[in-house]
């Protein structure tokens, strides 16, 4: 169908780049910056997409004098459009957020309350305390968050900026041998990523999965407490044990009511 209407997969890829890139920076700031507002996260993506299309079509007109399927599918004009659609939302979301900054409380993610009518106020408060993390665990999570942020930025700069612009600036043309190596590395990387993101989480959470499965089957699961680094000083660890069919609540220690 694309062929008969005069489009190609390359043109479609360029188009998708302009459409999807505006969501990258606002999404990242959603989990890394508590000052970003809801309005900024939404509006910046819309403005970024409009900016990307404007730069894409404007660059096509300036470079080739006419805007059509052929000229709009050129690498140079599309590159300008994608860069604009990626960079501009970062400016928009920061500018809009600074007008009236938000102050999101990350602790809300820990406020997962057990819904039941049978717990009294003391037991509800005990459950809330049991969900809290120890200072050591919080420190570890912050360290891993910084590492993940650094790794993400480094990979983005290397894969999306340094490598392609170096290749473009040098006007390098792939030889058959180089292209073969490129494809082999891409395939290896794709399979490595697939196995890592698919099976490692299952292995890492195997103990929790075992408890869940045994609970669903109505069998007694081995008592496993929260690791010591998760527990505050003086706080009793919470144990996960399956509940019978008549149980409607569970205390902070996991004991049936």
* pLDDT for residue 111: 62
Model confidence at 62, in pLDDT bands (50, 70, 90)?
very high
Helices (H), the chain: 9-20, 24-32, 38-64, 69-72, 75-99, 121-130, 135-156, 163-170, 176-204, 206-216
Model confidence at 236, in pLDDT bands (50, 70, 90)?
very low
* pLDDT for residue 240: 40
Q: Is 152 in contact with 24 (CB distance < 8 Å)?
A: no
pTM of the model: 0.60
Least confident of 18-22, 123-127, 138-142: 123-127
Residue in 62, 87, 78 with CA at minimum distance from that of residue 13? 78
Residue 72 within a domain: yes
Q: Is the model's pLDDT at 22 over the cut of 90?
A: yes
Q: Is the model's pLDDT at 233 over the cut of 50?
A: no
Residue 20 within a domain: yes
SS3 call for 96:
helix
Q: How many domains does the chain have?
A: 1
Model confidence at 3, in pLDDT bands (50, 70, 90)?
low
65: left (phi over 0), alpha (psi -120 to 50) or beta: left
Model confidence at 245, in pLDDT bands (50, 70, 90)?
very low
Average pLDDT, the chain: 78
The residue range of the domain holding 67 is 1-104
Percentage of the chain beyond pLDDT 70 is 72
Residue 210 within a domain: no
Q: Is 222 in contact with 240 (CB distance < 8 Å)?
A: no
Residue 240 within a domain: no
Residue 32 within a domain: yes
* pLDDT for residue 214: 86
- How far is 229 from 20, CA to CA, in rounded Å? 40
Residue 193 within a domain: no
Distances (CA, A) of 151 to 63, 137, 147: 37, 21, 6
Residue 164 within a domain: no
Q: Is 81 in contact with 52 (CB distance < 8 Å)?
A: yes
* pLDDT for residue 4: 65
**pLDDT tens-digit map of 151-203:** 888 988 888 788 888 888 888 888 999 999 989 999 999 999 999 999 999 99
Model confidence at 254, in pLDDT bands (50, 70, 90)?
very low
* pLDDT for residue 212: 86
- How far is 219 from 211, CA to CA, in rounded Å? 9
Pair of tokens at residue 103: 């102050």
Residue 65 within a domain: yes
HEC readout, 112-174: CCCCCCCCCHHHHHHHHHHCCCCHHHHHHHHHHHHHHHHHHHHHHHHHHHHHHHHHHHHCCCC
């Amino acid at each position: 169908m694309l062929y008969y209407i005069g489009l190609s997969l390359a043109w479609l890829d360029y188009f998708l780049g302009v459409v999807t890139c505006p969501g990258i920076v606002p999404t990242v700031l959603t989990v890394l910056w508590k000052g970003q507002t809801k309005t900024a996260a939404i509006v910046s993506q819309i403005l970024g997409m409009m900016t990307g299309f404007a730069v894409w079509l404007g660059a096509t007109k300036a470079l080739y004098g006419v805007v059509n399927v052929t000229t709009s599918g050129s690498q140079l004009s599309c590159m300008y459009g994608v860069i604009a659609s990626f960079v501009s939302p970062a400016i928009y979301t920061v500018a809009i957020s600074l007008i009236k900054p938000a102050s999101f409380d990350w602790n809300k993610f820990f406020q997962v309350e057990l819904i039941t009518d049978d717990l009294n106020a003391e037991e509800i408060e005990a459950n809330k305390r049991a969900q809290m993390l120890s200072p050591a665990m919080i420190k570890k999570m912050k360290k891993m968050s910084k590492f993940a942020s650094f790794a993400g930025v480094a990979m983005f700069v290397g894969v999306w900026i340094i490598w392609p612009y170096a290749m473009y600036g040098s006007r390098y043309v792939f030889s058959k041998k180089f292209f073969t190596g490129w494809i082999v590395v891409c395939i290896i990387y794709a399979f490595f990523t697939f196995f890592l993101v698919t099976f490692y989480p299952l292995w890492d959470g195997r103990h929790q999965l075992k408890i869940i499965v045994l609970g669903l089957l109505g069998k007694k699961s081995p008592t496993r407490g929260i690791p010591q680094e998760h527990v505050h000083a003086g706080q009793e660890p919470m144990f996960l044990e399956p509940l019978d069919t008549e149980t409607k609540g569970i205390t902070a220690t996991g004991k049936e009511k």
